[in-house]
Structure 1
C-alpha cells in the first residue's frame, strides 16, 4: 500500500519539499534516488544551479526514471533562488500548478548557497498559498566535513581567530548560511557518515543539535538511499510556522553572495581520469576550492564521466553513453570563496 502517494493535504494543496544543504552534501544524489523510487508519484523538480554549467539538471535528466519526464525538470540558472523569488521561482511554480495534469509533489533543490527561509515565505504569497504547501524542508549535512571543522560552529575558536587575524573580524557567512539551513529544517540527513566512526558521528550530532528546532530528527544516509515515504509526507506546512524558523538574516531585506565565486572551464578530452584528478588535488589545496563538479570526456571511452569534488574528496563514475549529437568535451564548474584566482586555476587545468 502506497499510503503517502495518495496522502491528502489541506484543501487539496499540492505538497512541495525544499531540499537544501551546503555545497556537495549530496542533494542531487538524494533526488536521483527519490525519482527512481517514486512509486507512482508524479514528481516535478525545480533545480537551482550555481554556476554556468547545468550539471545537476543534466544528472537528474539522465536518471532514467519512467515517471520523471523532460518537462518535469525545470532548471533555474539565474542565481540563487532565495535572491530571485519574485522574478524566477514564483512564475515557475505557478506554471507547474497550472498544468492540465499537475504534479502530485514538487521537489525544489536549492543551490548550496541558498537560504531556505525566503523560499518558505514565498509559499504564503497570494495565488500560491491556496494551491500548494511546504510539506517540509530537508537539510543535508556533510558529516565528514563538519567533523573536520570546515563548517564548525565553535564561537570561542572563531573569537580567538578573529583576535589573531584582523581579516577575520567580521561575520562568517559560511557559518551563518550553515546555521540558517539547519534552523529551517524539518528533517536533517547526515551524509558521508561511512567516513566517520561512532565517536565522530556523536560529536557531529552534538554540534548540530543547538541549531535544530525542537523535535527535528536526523537520519544517517548513504548514497541518497531514503525511502520516499520518509522524505515526502512530512506535512509540516512550514509556511505557517515561519516565525519559529530563526535566521541570521531576519532583519535584512536581502543578502548577497559576494563571498563566493564560480566559473566554468571547458577542456578537451582527457587521457585518463587519474591524470586529471592528480592535477586537481594540489589545485584544490592551493586555492581552497570548495566545490568542483562536471562531466569529463575520457579518450577512448564511449561513456561520460561524472566528476564530483568537495574539498579534497573527489569522486568519479561513468553515468551514460555520450549522445551522437553531443560535443565530447570536459566541462567543470569551480566554486570557491571570493578572490578565487580564476586565471591561475584555468592555466593549471589546461596544462
Structure 2
C-alpha cells in the first residue's frame, strides 16, 4: 500500500451548525495542498456547494438525502472510490445536517473494495451549535448519534453564548461521548492543530446501523420565485414558517438591496450579500412531513401574495 494515502475527514453537525463556514476556514489553512470535497446536501439545490466551489477545489455533490442512508450509500461509495483515483492529499466529506454517521467505517471499507485504494481515515468532526444544540438533542436521535460517533467535537457560535452555556455544553458532550477531543470555534475559526493529530485515538463508539432510512427521511420542498420583494415582507413569511421547519436556506432577490443568501436556523434569520442568481430559490426541510406544503402556500399568500412555484 502506498504511504501517501489521502487523509480523509468526515464533517458532521446538525443543520445550521456552521459546517460550510468551518470547512472554508480549514481550506484556507490547507491552501497549496491538493484538496477534494464530497458534499452531501439534503436539498438538491446544492446551495453550500455554490459557496464552497472554486478553481482549486475538486468537488462532488450528493443531494436529496443522507450519504449514510441505504438510498444514497452506493452513490457515496462510488464517489469515494472515484476520488481515491485523484491523488488528493486531503478529502473532506461534509455530511448533510440530518446525516447519522454511525456506519461510516463500513462505507469506507466498501469504497476500498471498489477502488482498490485505502484512505487514511483521520476521524469524524462533529460541530455543536452552541445556541441550538440542547433543543436539537431533545428533538432528534441524529444529533445524539453525530456526537456519539465523532472523534473531535467543535462548539460553534461561541460568540453568541456566555461561559455558563459553554460549560453546560461541555458537560453534555462528556455525557454522550466521554473521550472525544473538544474545541471551541468563533466565526468558524478554531485551533487547527487537529490536522497534525491522530484523532482516532479519541474513538468512543463502535460502528452500528445508521438511523437514516427512506422511512425517516424528512420532507424537503423547493420554492422558485421570479420577482423581488421587500426584506421585511420576506422576514414576515419566514417567521411564519419557523415552527414547522428544521431549516430554510437559499438565495433571494431583495427589493432595493439585490441578492442575498438566506439562512434560517432555529428562530434566527440571517441575510448575507451574494452573487446574483437566475431566480430566487428557497429549500424547506420539514418537521411536519407533507403538511408543510399547505403551511407554505398559506403563509406566502397571506404575507406576499405573488406567484411562486413549489416542487419536491
TM-score by length of 1: 0.76
Choose from 48, 55, 62 the match for 1:76. Answer: 62
Instruction: After TM superposition, give the deviation of residue 256 of structure 1 in Å.
Output: 4.3
Choose from 207, 211, 230 the match for 1:272. Answer: 230
Distance 2:206 2:142 in 1: 12
Indicate the SS of the match to 2:142.
Answer: helix
Partner of 2:76: 89
Q: Which runs of structure 2 are paired with 1:29-178 in the superposition (5 Å)?
A: 29-61=21-53, 64=54, 67-68=56-57, 72-83=58-69, 84=71, 86-99=73-86, 102-125=87-110, 126-127=113-114, 130-146=117-133, 149-152=134-137, 174=140, 176-178=141-143
TM-score by length of 2: 0.85
CA contact (8 A) 2:251 2:260 kept: yes
Instruction: After TM superposition, give the deviation of residue 59 of structure 1 in Å.
Output: 1.3
Distance 2:233 2:108 in 1: 47
CA contact (8 A) 2:100 2:210 kept: no
Relative to structure 1, the CA distance from residue 291 to residue 152 in structure 2 (aligned partners, 3 Å threshold; closer, same or farther) is same
Indicate the SS of the match to 1:232.
Answer: helix
Distance 2:210 2:64 in 1: 22
Partner of 2:248: 292
Instruction: After TM superposition, give the deviation of residue 56 of structure 1 in Å.
Output: 1.2
Distance 1:88 1:23 in 2: 21
Relative to structure 1, the CA distance from residue 41 to residue 226 in structure 2 (aligned partners, 3 Å threshold; closer, same or farther) is farther
Indicate the SS of the match to 2:216.
Answer: coil
Q: Does 1:235 align with 2:182?
A: no
Choose from 264, 284, 299 the match for 1:348. Answer: 299
Any idea what the Cα deviations from partners look like across 1:191-243, whole Å, max 9, x if unmatched?
122221111221122122111142x221111221135x4353433458xx98x
Any idea what the Cα deviations from partners look like across 1:147-198, whole Å, max 9, x if unmatched?
xx41245xxxxxxxxxxxxxxxxxx6x1x21111111111111112222111
Any idea what the Cα deviations from partners look like across 1:60-94, whole Å, max 9, x if unmatched?
12xx5x632xxx01101142100146420111111
**Equivalenced residues, count:** 298
Distance 2:211 2:225 in 1: 40
Partner of 1:307: 262
Distance 1:218 1:265 in 2: 38
Any idea what the Cα deviations from partners look like across 1:302-328, whole Å, max 9, x if unmatched?
5x31111102111111133x2xxx52x
Hey, which bits of structure 1, 4+ residues long, moved more than 4 A?
127-130, 251-254
Relative to structure 1, the CA distance from residue 38 to residue 188 in structure 2 (aligned partners, 3 Å threshold; closer, same or farther) is same
Partner of 1:164: none
Relative to structure 1, the CA distance from residue 266 to residue 252 in structure 2 (aligned partners, 3 Å threshold; closer, same or farther) is closer
Runs of at least 5 residues in structure 1 that lack an aligned partner in the other structure: 1-8, 154-171
Choose from 256, 260, 263 the match for 2:221. Answer: 263
Any idea what the Cα deviations from partners look like across 1:311-350, whole Å, max 9, x if unmatched?
2111111133x2xxx52x2100011224342132134235
Partner of 1:169: none
Runs of at least 5 residues in structure 2 that lack an aligned partner in the other structure: 306-312
